[in-house]
Structure 1
């Protein structure tokens, strides 16, 4: 590595945890940057194809929250070259054809579940964009661009023919040296929308001190509408939350904002708290008798719900609707972070849209802070800080929520509703409540990690000279199904009474105690996962068309549990060893 390498390459080199994925590491790194993924290893467990016969699909990533699917071909050159090989870009034609068009039973086993999940997401309206990425570490080139234009054209025709009612778009992107550098640099700034915006206003005033200056005004709601339609969640890059949607309920704040904008636009300014936004620079001037505010770059640090509600209106807001607004400019990086923090903590949070400040999450952060080698942020996801400066002891909030859901017998929520666990009151309160302890979070998280490690081990053995036994091959076939890890976690957790040899009054009170690190906890689960893994074949029926029904999952888990109970005698020593580490609070 030389000193003139782009900074993203230095950052990738520092991510020694990604080296295990070979050439796919660069694809996962790019996904990490683009989607602010907290837990790239859980994503890798689901998204990375694990064999040579992958039909030119290295990564198949589906993000229902963003409404996008990524089909990636990855290439990492050990030598400096002027461009990446164009034929590998053309390979994406093959990938798209196999994933979208061929009969599922014709696909290699490792792709069948991923292709089924992709098609289901398109038909169900869960995704609106499919992006074909050619990810590499060389300069972008015209030859590759030409090949990707063909991929894009072919893919669009295929989607239009197969899914004419889906309104899904397809694009092909070269994610090379400069593009990844742009992605990386964006993570270093809290402001991702860098365009210049001119807003016509009625009046306004500037205030400032030695560290910052701000402009206070009222802006037309239609300006926010246009900004949200164009930039979506990038508009909230410096916010600890983005727009969380609205329900048809008078009690829902976002629905109330929309209703006010539609029925009482002239009173909107009086009824709404408005927005606070960071900007690189602002100025005001009078042009042809009209006052204009000119801002360069914008990120809304408070008012995401107002902006999202306005941006989600069925049509452009009435011109009389005005939104209170203040734009803050500062060059002080530490002050930027303080502005973000205090703008979100000093306001009352309602409608279940912000969990990281509630008393349960505060308590859980404190409890996990007492556990060795463990850190928990409790509700925060991604954000503006450098995504590469990863804390190896961090328990990612969304992964913790998914692990909790799976252990508490809701694998469907764990797999399909990772955001809803934090947004919807009924889900959140089921998993995060007064009975939930920090040590229990580690207990659940460690089980999920142990299951994921089991899959990684099998994939590595399948690529080695040793190869897999027939039983291991069956287990790997199970893990190739989307949602399989969460279903397995639920199945294992359902057997806790068998493992411990006693009745459990409350699963929430089970843990390894507050002196056991997540790494140690993962090791404690290792023998249990290995011992019961042969029974995974009895869970397969639930995964045939995706993990969608807890009722069906419950029936398969019941059979799994029966088999574990029937073989408990022969595995008694393993269970006794595990039980010694487990604590049960009353």
Structure 2
């Protein structure tokens, strides 16, 4: 019996909403530490009627990865039951449609995600494409699966190389994600250090120790070949389990710094020490034995993933030195601070680095008033929060920015809402409270639920349904719709006066599903009245122009105002349950 079974079986909402795809989403959540898997699911799952063997297309440009998934769920699986190999070979079909077919021939079910994937690869924002065959059987039960996936990996790599061009390097990996792998990810999901081996360090046999009340550290230098050997021996997700990111590759744009490190290793390794800031590793313990030999127990590289990856990718046999410090700490809060502060020097800022900001501390405290909800404020989510409604920090920033500010930035530059100081303070203002976040987050969930409802309706969709579904499949559709509702909110509420939209909340906030249901008539009504205005804004290349978005929003607001009596009947429950006063001063 695998331990992950019990945890997965407790995820009733996940199973009820996504059926045979639930385990694949669960695996995705574990592998990439996703907070709000429901939000990811609606954007990443495909329309099954013509998905060309792509059950899922997940794209994360921040991590530089894409996952193309096929799912299989056996109702009564045991160790003797094998997953079918043909589902693995289906990924060849998926690869061909995603990377070889003309864009005009790709079915609408996957067209937008396929185009986004191709663009991400060409622009150097996707460095790794993972083809997953996810099932609930033992991986050793059918040896044919490994052979099929090897074929998938080879053929897909050729197709992706053609798509990437000569200037970008994209790695393709085809993986079987069965019981053993899911169990491994489950066990690692709340661990900082996943590697527990005793490791001899190939160092200069010199160094010095620094001790503190809550941590101690040994500082030395290691050979580049030793560091590279760690990445060749251990999986990246294990070696970098405590890091904010894994190795991002060496593409010509986003990861040109990594490309520069590879060139330094190859052309002037003697200068690498002077050019590089070094590596920080978290370990369970270290031991300096006679002869100054250094040994560590357990390791995760918390700063230096790009350095480690670049050295490994260079395949250099030349010897050169890298500064390194090994830190032992058993205080989880201090570990968080060590990780966060060590990564402030990297190119990509993360929401983790804002976790101790006064606004995030305040919002976390406000969310404590709602036991069924969880908002991390940039801190990592542990497994226990899966029983709650999770408010994912990046999505929180996106919906606030889309509703009150610029939906184009909210969609295209979500990371900047946390990393750029000016944008951060415009989103996380003193006016933003937990109740308003709940108000807006339930709106984005209502849009996702409506899209899912239309997807499942399939051939039973009416012409109006098809118009709405075709719109919601477009890139940026959700953020644009949130912006339009933000522009129209006074008319929707039947209040033409100057309304402070930051004060909007529901009168009662403790039942999230009920709040989502209150928004649904608003979402459906806005789409029906505004689909002709909305679609042109995102039809060619996604959401790009805030001017066009605001123009469409103004027109839709005027339409809603003109049909105020009909609107009033459709959104009566919503109006009755919204409070326009400042909740914190009532």
**Class of the TM-score when normalised by the shorter of the 2 chains:** 0.7 to 0.9
Alpha-carbon distance in structure 1 between the residues aligned to 2:470 and 2:102: 18
2:407 corresponds, among 408, 411, 416, to: 411
* Equivalent in the alignment of 1:468: 461
1:440-455 equivalences under 5 Å are 440-455=436-451
Aligned residues: 548
Structure 2 partner of 1:439: 435
Q: For the Cα contact (< 8 Å) 1:411–1:550, is it kept in 2?
A: no
Structure 1 partner of 2:519: 525
Task: Name whichever of 400-409 and 517-526 sits farther off.
Answer: 517-526
Compared with structure 1, are the counterparts of its residues 529 and 419 closer, same or farther at alpha carbon in structure 2 (3 Å cutoff)? same
Q: What is the 5 A alignment of 1:252-331?
A: 277-286=281-290, 291-300=292-301, 304=303, 322-323=323-324, 325-328=325-328
Instruction: For residue 350 of structure 1, report the CA deviation from its aligned partner.
Output: 9.1
Aligned mates of 2:542, 2:195 — CA distance in 1:
37
What is residue 201 of structure 2 aligned with on the other side? 198
Aligned partner of 1:495 in structure 2 is 488
- Residue of structure 1 aligned with 2:27, choices 2, 5, 30: 30
CA drift at 1:37: 0.6
Counterpart position of 2:374: 375
Assess if the C-alpha contact under 8 Å between 2:225 and 2:319 holds in 1: no
Change in 2 beyond 3 A, CA 1:241/1:90: closer
Cα displacement (A) at 1:531: 1.8
Give the structure 2 partner of residue 66 of structure 1.
Answer: 63
What are the superposed Cα offsets for residues 526-576 of structure 1, whole Å, 9 maximum, x if unpaired? 221122221234322233344341334333333333332332232124456
Question: What's the CA shift string for 1:243-292, capped at 9, x where partnerless?
Answer: 999xxxxxxxxxxxxxxxx99998999xx8x98643244322355xxx33
Alpha-carbon offset, residue 406 of structure 1:
2.1
TM-score by length of 1: 0.81
Q: Return the alpha-carbon distance in structure 2 between the equivalents of residues 432 and 117 of structure 1.
A: 29
1:153-190 superposed Cα distances (whole Å, 9 cap, x missing partner): 22122223343233222221111222222222222422
CA 1:441–1:23 in 2, change beyond 3 Å: closer, same or farther? Answer: same
CA distance in structure 1 between the aligned counterparts of 2:22 and 2:308, rounded to whole angstroms: 39
Deviation at residue 110 of structure 1 after TM alignment:
1.4
Distance 1:563 1:82 in 2: 58
Partner of 1:172: 174
CA distance, structure 1, for counterparts of residue 177 and residue 248 of structure 2? 29
Q: How does 1:124-139 map to 2 (within 5 A)?
A: 124-139=123-138
- The partner residue of 1:238 within 239, 242, 246 is 242
Query: Are residues 111 and 223 of structure 1, via their aligned partners in 2, closer, same or farther at CA, if it must alter by over 3 Å?
Result: same
Aligned partner of 2:105 in structure 1 is 106
The yes-or-no answer on 1:337 pairing with 2:332 is yes
Residue 149 (str. 1) matches residue 122 (str. 2) = no
> Structure with the greater relative contact order (CA < 8 A, sep ≥ 6): 1 or 2?
1
Name which of structure 1's ranges 372-381 and 431-440 shifts more when overlaid on structure 2. Answer: 372-381
**2:260 equivalent in structure 1:** none
Q: Separation in 2 of the partners of 1:582 and 1:45?
A: 29
Counterparts of 2:342 and 2:568 in 1: how far apart (Å)? 54
Aligned-residue RMSD, C-alpha? 4.0
User: Within 1, Cα distance between the matches of 2:500 and 2:222?
Assistant: 53
Q: Is the 8 A contact 1:439 1:513 kept in 2?
A: no
**C-alpha displacement at 1:26, in angstroms?**
1.4
Contact 2:47 2:110 in 1 (8 A): no
Structural mapping, 1:498-517, within 5 Å:
498-500=491-493, 501-504=495-498, 506-512=500-506, 517=511
- The offset of 1:103, in angstroms, is 2.4
CA distance in 2, matches of 1:263, 1:542: 54
- SS of corresponding position for 2:461: coil
Show the counterpart of 1:259.
Answer: none
Q: Distance in 2 between matches of 1:518 and 1:126?
A: 35
Distance 1:168 1:536, change over 3 A: same
- How far does the alpha carbon of each residue in 1:353-386 deviate from its partner, in whole angstroms, 9 at most, with x for none? 611111111111222323463332211244xx43
Q: Is the 8 A contact 1:370 1:514 kept in 2?
A: no
CA distance in 2, matches of 1:504, 1:372: 34
Counterpart residue number, 2:9: 13
**2: CA distance between counterparts of 1:562 and 1:119?**
38
Query: Any idea what SS the aligned residue of 1:502 has?
Result: coil
Deviation at 1:519, TM superposition (A): 3.7
- 1:399 and 2:400 aligned: no
Distance 1:240 1:151, change over 3 A: closer
Determine the C-alpha separation between the residues in 2 that align with 1:161 and 1:343: 41
- Map Cα deviations across residues 393-419 of structure 1 (whole Å, 9 max, x no partner): 332222212221221243333333333
Alignment correspondent of 1:89: 88
Residue 363 of structure 2: aligned partner: 364
After superposition, give the CA deviation of every residue in 1:446-471 in whole Å (9 maximum; x if it has no partner).
111111121222233337xxx22221
C-alpha separation between the residues in 1 aligned to 2:23 and 2:509? 36
Rounded Cα–Cα distance in structure 2 between residues aligned with 1:418 and 1:227: 35
Q: Does 1:540 align with 2:535?
A: yes
**TM-score, length-normalised on structure 2?**
0.81
Change (3 A) 1:75 1:505: same
Find the aligned partners of 1:307 and 1:221 in 2 and give their Cα distance: 16
Query: Does the CA contact (< 8 Å) of 2:130 and 2:175 recur in 1?
Result: yes
Q: Is the 8 A contact 2:63 2:245 kept in 1?
A: no
